[in-house]
Amino acid sequence: MPARTRQPSEVPTTRPTSITAVVDCPGALASRSMEGNFYLYDTKKAEGSTGFGTEELRTPVKKGDELLWNVVVLECETYVAIDGIKVDPQVCVPERRQYPGTDILYWAGTVLKDVQDSVPYQISFRVGGLTTPIATTAAPALVG
């Protein structure tokens, strides 16, 4: 397993905000693009998330929030994983982690400061057998 994957030293005592990408793997393979082939959801709908089920999900956050990104594939026999998340490092530095006892990955990070407006981020996915990750072109965001 790559060295940058690690286990958290402490078990979280509060529920993190989960951001889930539902990915259509054959669709992404066919077009070599994530556009139109993934749907973002989070667990902050009651607190005002917008763009639910789209590529431009906007998740409300505040300093100290724990964020967790993971993937659910639309077609269960396909392989998709998050390869990286690019976001302003002054706001969050997501780390690659794995569910203990498995090789299933997720990404997690802490919101380092309150967000005034909107902080876009980009997710890169490993899709099927492709060696080159495919990045999102739309801009989901963390919002204040």
Partner 1 sequence: VLNWLPASLGSIPPTVPKSYQHDRSAQSDQQALTELASLTSDAGNTSDAAAGLSRVGRHVGHRTRLASPGSRLGSDKVLDVTGHVITGDPKGAHNYPAPVITDVTGRAVDEKIIYPAEYGSPDMVSDGWYWSATIDTSRAGRYAYTLHIQLHELAERNGAYVWEPVDFTCESALDVTSDPMRNAFTGQGVGLLPIPPVPAPSAATA
Per the DSSP assignment, residues forming a β-bridge with 126 are: 81
Cα Rg of the chain (Å, integer): 15
**Residues within window 24-53 making contact with partner 1, judged by CB under 8 A:** 24, 26-27, 29-30, 41-43
C-beta closer to partner 1: residue 42 or 65: 42
Give the one residue of 12, 64, 89, 144 binding partner 1; rule: CB under 8 A.
12
102 binds partner 1 (CB under 8 A): yes
Give the one residue of 23, 61, 68, 115 binding partner 1; rule: CB under 8 A.
68
- Written as six digits, the tokens of 1 are 């397993």
- Dihedral (Cα; 35, 47, 67, 32), 10-degree rounding: 0
C-beta closer to partner 1: residue 102 or 116: 102
| Cα 135 to Cα 40: distance, rounded to the nearest angstrom | 14
What does the angle CA 116 – CA 119 – CA 123 come to, to the nearest 5 degrees? 160
Positions touching partner 1 (CB under 8 A) are 8, 11-16, 18, 20, 24, 26-27, 29-30, 41-43, 68, 70-73, 75-76, 79, 81, 83, 97, 99-106, 108, 126, 128-131
